[in-house]
Amino acid sequence: DQQVKQNSPSLSVQEGRISILNCDYTNSMFDYFLWYKKYPAEGPTFLISISSIKDKNEDGRFTVFLNKSAKHLSLHIVPSQPGDSAVYFCAASLGTSGTYKYIFGTGTRLKVLA
């Protein structure tokens, strides 16, 4: 039973345009959501996060939107750059429930075309 889902395994975007990566979750107890970027043979790098009490968080080119009623979050990257090409994982945590577990989605491979 996958609690965090990324239904698009890959996405191609032209340089300078917006990249939108989506993530759905099933557990309404998740209280914190994170996005990570990963290159092969390296550890994931933290990008941006959002608490469940907010619906938007912005950091430079990266914005995360949270829609709790739809159990959906998205990561917007604008403008997209070739260096953004990587696999992006969304993750959700159950910190306040006491389990302190982070559950990851399957990832979306983003390719930014020059």
Partner 1 sequence: EADIYQTPRYLVIGTGKKITLECSQTMGHDKMYWYQQDPGMELHLIHYSYGVNSTEKGDLSSESTVSRIRTEHFPLTLESARPSHTSQYLCASSRSGTGELFFGEGSRLTVL
User: Contact positions toward partner 1, by CB under 8 A?
Assistant: 2, 9, 31-32, 34, 36, 40-46, 49, 89, 91, 93-96, 100-107
**Smallest distance, partner 1 to C-beta of residue 96, A:** 6
Residue 13 or 48: the one with the smaller Cβ distance to partner 1 is 48
38 Cβ neighbours under 8 A, 6+ residues apart: 44, 45, 86, 87, 88, 89, 107
Q: 35, 89 in Cβ contact below 8 A? A: yes
**Smallest distance, partner 1 to C-beta of residue 66, A:** 15
Residue with tokens 């159990």: 71
